[in-house]
Structure 1
Amino acid sequence: MPKERPVISSAKSVAICTFVSRITGMLRDMLIVQAFGAGLVLDSFFYAFQIPHLFRRLFGEGALAAAFVPTFTGALETEGRPAAEKLLARTLALLTVTLAVIVVLLEAILVTFWAFSSDNPDRQLMLALTALMLPFMLTICIVALFSSILNCLHSFVPAALIPTVLNVVMIIGVVRVGPLMSSQPEVQVFGLAISVLVAGVIQLLMLLYVLRRMGISLGWSFQPRDEKVRRMIQLMLPVMLGQGVLLLSVFLDTQICAFLAPGVNAFGADFPYPLDVGALSTLTVAQRLYQFPLGVLGVSLAIAAFPTFSRLAAREDWQQWSHEVAGSLRLAVFAGFLTGGVMIVLAEPIVQLLFEYRNFSATDTARSARVLMFYGFGMWAFCAWHIVLRGFYSLGDVRTPVKISCTMVPINLALSLVLIWFEGIREAAFAISTVTTSTLSVLVGLLWLRKRAEHAIVTSRTIRAGIVMLGITLVTAAATYWAHASWYAPLASIVPNQVLLRGIDTFGALALGCVHSSSALPPHSNCPKPACY
């Protein structure tokens, strides 16, 4: 037990840092959206901001982390710190050179497109912001590498605090730097973009300081033919392939929203397109809102359950393993049902409370709320997929989830391209396609897990528990909707402050829904523990 206390203490510290990061991230997004509204400027910024993050997920937190962490840890444990530092120097050099080449090539492409878009100032704005923020890709991937090193050395808090630095600097950028540059949104957004670059440098310097304080020597040695480096590259390639296919879906959705929303001009004729300007902003706002509870509930539950799954898999105790996976799955589905139900009935009040100020209009709120509502129908699948994913990982199987996800990419794209043409759906098509493919992924994943473990995960008890959960969710959603529909008009006549009115309306309805949810729960004495999940 004493040996576990430092781990528990670190986990609590990381959880606090992660929560602070998510809160500051939500505040950052609120201020950015309110400053620019769901229009061309915000679309351009979100597009440009997403490109470095896609490379971070591919290199820094994807392939490199999967290949570097075990190699670095192995060198540290078996050969000592000098050998590990030598590997770090060569990895750092390889990553820096690779990313620098990619940045230069992409900058050349962007400049070329920018030169040929002189008759389209809106397109030039998007390309200029992308070119300006592209170097952030270099710093954010190196920051991810340094964070991995700190985690290997059991120093978790500095890496967990790093995202907060980005959020705070961007808040300063949108609140102070942008307005100081100009009163025009098209110019202010460049102040925000510059703050992203500054934040990347600050993050890098902070982690460099921490690493030096821990006695880590940071060299730079470009030796791609080194045996350990070559082995690491071999480990990276399959992960990059799988991760790249998954990120391709996100990238294609972004292209559809950003480049085709205003319509297409070709061969001297205008071809109207079903999405309006602001589609990317609308989609991003809805995604930020559903990802917040998903991270707090679904991902946290999966992370907590993963060690138990792995321990039971190592013992080959498949009956208990299936029991634990099923119990965690019920908890995840229940959390997804409840949060999804609240999103469906309170989508508009939530968006209104957080974003509808200054330049973010009521029309923007209605568009974002429609997308958020459709995401709500899939919250159970989003939460459940993280449990299914950890189930595969506990078996040492990383390929099957990639195969499932790769299969879903063309389905997702096809659904999006078809549904955007329907009136009343439009940008919500991306939410519907994501919900559909996530549901299919969970179902297929559970079938694969059953074959691997040779024990049923979804049993009659699980189905009964699911029906109970759905009933509780319907009661909660109905009570929440009734409270919102009944209270708003009377409250509006007595609460003069708009923010206070929206807060009381949203949180009051949510609290009443939670009370009804608690009262709808079956008594523990009459319900077996697993079914009460």
Structure 2
Amino acid sequence: MDEGLARAGRAMAVGTFVSRVTGFLRTLALVAALGLGKGLFDIYTVANTLPNSIYDLVLGGALTSVLVPLLVRYPDELYAQRLLSLVVYGLGATVVVTTLFAPQIVDLCAGDLGADQRRVAIVLTRFFLPQVLFYGVGTTLAAVLSARGRQAVPMWAPVANNLVVVATTAAYLAIGGTGSLERLTVAQTWLLGVGTTAGVAVQALVLCLATRGTGFRIRLRADPRGVGVRRIAAMAGWTLLSVAAAQVAIVVVNRLALASGEGALGAYANAYTLFQLPYAVVTVSIVTGVLPGLSRAAARRDLSLVTAELSRCLRLSGVVLLPVAAFLVVLGPYLATALFAHGNATPSAAALTGSVLAAYGLALVPFCGYQVLLRGFYAMQDTRTPAMIGLLVTATTIGGAVVSAWLVPGPRMVVGAAVGYALANCAGFLVAAAVLRGRLGRVDGHRLLRAHGRMLPAALVAGGAAAVVARLTGQVTGPGWAGSLAVVLAAGACGGLLYGLAAWALRVSELRTLVSALRA
């Protein structure tokens, strides 16, 4: 690993880790205030998910796939200003329209709700919809920073968002905030709505200040023409198709979870948040550092370098993610109890979250590998192929959730939905690898198989040891969040030590490379 990438990777990993830690504090604060397993937390989750879904559907998925490659190819300031203007005008109009139609959007995405549930969901959704604009501004400015070699800054920006929401929940509890939907007052609703959206606004503000610090002038152009709207639309059109399909999957899973019983959606959402942590800290940090160089290599048609960079990303992320996946499968229930069995949360909801998290452990490696391979297509400015593969992934995800709801009635259907998500990402990874092999000529398959063939036994040893230690420690500490925390610490430390020893004995060179880069 070259020194520049190692330095950027360290900075991004640290920023992402701090962001995710504060994100956990945010989640824990919301769980304590609104109550995991309570109807209010489910309604808040639905309403706060809608801006993300609308943003991704309208523009977000397209921005993620095309912004950095475009800004690398066209680095002048005027182009970036016009692109930012296009985003602001488009998403500003989207906020106005979706706010007017908030009741219909809630009915579509949440299904049949009680009168009080629907009323609160609509009010919160209208408070949260301005986040769509702030997300777009933040994503565009993050791409400008990345194209200018400042990839680590966007990783730190969510810290501000998380701290604002934590402060909001503290104020909510201070004014007598409740976990009961029926006892929620108008003042408490306003505080939750304004405070949550203010967090996203502050996150965008941090990125504005950081971008200005690079010398970039943030200026909206009255005429945003000149950014190649037709070209962007051609690139983004396929991505929008894939994103639309993904949003259908989200709506289906959310509606099935809400219908399965109180607390199921909150458990599913919190488990997904935990599942995303290793991906964000490890894979995103590595891929974000590689993406500009990957885009330049693709522009030069240097396919051997594209293959080498993708292989390196897969191997360096796999050496960390394989043992983490094993730990999630083994320790998921203990981890969820330690984190969520507090405040207004119900023990059954915490236990359900742990079961979903263990199922998500099966998805971690294929999901991250699939996301890495998608960057290869995006670097070559091919959004059609990822969209087609994305439709397969979405169909499998929906099928898994529907089958789970049919076979496992009640809240535990979300565990089966997580297993279906794992199968969907396995299919996506395998298909993407096969297509890339035809496109690039090779995907460094022999080297990848050799590397993962050494990592997997080490991860299995670590996971088995963690399971034994967890069982023995649990008999001593007993149930409850304190006992679960002791189990996680003891089993995690033992398993992590054994993984390091096994990887050293099996000569896993990627672990040595990663450790050397982080120590440099």
TM-score scaled by length of structure 1: 0.81
Deviations 1:41-84 (A, max 9, x none): 1110111111112233345643245556666666653xxx4x44
- Unpaired runs of at least 5, structure 2: 514-520
Whether 2:122 is the aligned partner of 1:122: answer no
Q: What letter is aligned with 1:518?
A: G
Residue in structure 1 matched with residue 171 of structure 2 by the alignment: 176
What is the total number of aligned residue pairs between the two structures?
A: 504
Q: Which fold has the larger relative contact order, with Cα–Cα distance below 8 Å and residues 6 or more apart in sequence? A: 2
Match of 1:17 among 9, 12, 15: 15
From 31, 55, 64, give the equivalent of 2:29.
Answer: 31
Cα 1:483–1:49 change in 2 (3 A) is same
Q: Bigger CA drift: 13-22 or 402-411?
A: 13-22
Residue aligning to 2:498: 516
Verify the 8 A CA contact 1:298 1:335 in the aligned structure 2.
Answer: no
User: 20-29 or 383-392, which moves further after superposition?
Assistant: 383-392
**CA 1:223 to 1:104, structure 2 compared with 1: closer, same or farther past 3 Å?**
farther
Q: Would you say the 8 A contact 1:37–1:364 is kept in 2?
A: yes
Out of 475, 487, 491, which is 1:489 matched to? 475
Distance 1:436 1:505 in 2: 29
Distance 1:177 1:399, change over 3 A: same
Is the Cα–Cα contact under 8 Å of residues 8 and 289 in structure 2 kept in the other structure? no
For the residues of structure 2 that align with 1:192 and 1:427, how far apart are their CA atoms?
Answer: 27
SS at match of 1:357: coil
- CA 1:69–1:394 in structure 2 vs 1: closer, same or farther (change >3 Å)? closer
Pair 1:463–1:156, CA change in 2 (3 A): closer
CA distance, structure 1, for counterparts of residue 336 and residue 438 of structure 2: 42
Q: Counterparts of 2:487 and 2:90 in 1: how far apart (Å)?
A: 50
Shift of 1:210: 5.2
Letter in 2 for 1:438: N
The 2-side partners of 1:402 and 1:362 are apart by 40
Give the drift of 1:284.
0.7
TM-aligned CA deviation for residue 486 of structure 1: 0.9
Structure 1 contact 38–282 (Cα < 8 Å) conserved: yes
Q: Distance in 1 between matches of 2:11 and 2:460?
A: 36
CA distance in 1, matches of 2:448, 2:70: 40
Shift of 1:381: 0.8
1:345-399 CA distance string (max 9 Å, x none):
1111111111111222221122111111111122221222133223334544332
Cα shift at 1:190: 4.9
Matched, 1:42 2:28: no
> Contact 2:254–2:265 at 8 Å: present in 1 too?
yes
3-state SS of the aligned residue for 2:275?
helix
In structure 1, the partner of 2:266 is 281
| Matched residue SS, 1:47 | helix
The CA deviation string for residues 332-351 of structure 1, in whole angstroms up to 9 with x for no partner, is 44433311111111111111
* 1:269 match: none
Alignment partner for residue 404 of structure 1, among 370, 373, 389? 389
Deviations 1:176-225 (A, max 9, x none): 23441544643246532221122234344445555566665555455477
Q: Deviations over 1:128-180 (max 9, x none)?
A: 32222222223332333343344445555654332111100100111223441
Which of residues 273, 289, 292 is equivalent to 2:277?
A: 292
How far apart are the structure 2 equivalents of 1:320 and 1:239?
A: 25
Mapping 1:332-351, distance limit 5 Å: 332-351=317-336
* Structure 1 gap segments, 5+ residues each: 262-274
Query: Matches of residues 103-502 of structure 1 in structure 2 within 5 Å?
Result: 103-107=98-102, 109=104, 120-156=115-151, 159-180=154-175, 182-183=177-178, 185-186=180-181, 187=184, 188=188, 190-209=190-209, 218-223=218-223, 228-229=228-229, 232-233=232-233, 235-258=235-258, 261=259, 275-304=260-289, 306=291, 322=307, 325-326=310-311, 328-423=313-408, 425-455=412-442, 457-459=444-446, 462-463=448-449, 465-491=451-477, 501-502=483-484
Q: 1:293 to 1:150 in 2, by over 3 A?
A: closer
> Which deviations, in whole Å up to 9, do the C-alpha atoms of 1:111-140 show, x marking residues without a partner?
9999x9996222322233222222222333
Taking a change above 3 Å as real, the CA distance of residues 278 and 9 of structure 1, as seen in their structure-2 partners, is same
| Structure (1 or 2) with the larger CA radius of gyration | 1
Taking every aligned residue pair, what percent have the same amino acid on both sides? 22
Return the offset for 1:444.
Answer: 1.2
Distance 1:6 1:381, change over 3 A: closer
Distance 2:123 2:217 in 1: 37
Contact 1:10/1:157 (CA < 8 Å) preserved in 2? yes
Q: Return closer, same or farther for 1:154/1:55 CA change in 2, 3 Å cut-off.
A: farther
Residue 6 of structure 1 and its aligned partner are, at CA, apart by: 7.9
Judged with a 3 Å threshold, the aligned counterparts in structure 2 of structure 1 residues 382 and 201 are, in CA distance, closer, same or farther, namely closer
Matched position secondary structure for 2:175? helix
Distance in 1 of aligned mates of 2:451 and 2:486: 33
The Cα shift of 1:27 comes to 1.0
Alignment deviations for residues 463-518 of structure 1 (CA, whole Å, 9 cap, x no partner)? 4554443332222112111111112333459xxxx765443321111111122223
Q: Which residue in the other structure is 2:516 paired with?
A: none
SS at match of 1:421: helix
Which amino acid in the other structure matches residue 399 of structure 2? Answer: A
Q: Is the CA contact 2:235–2:381 (under 8 Å) kept in the aligned structure 1?
A: no
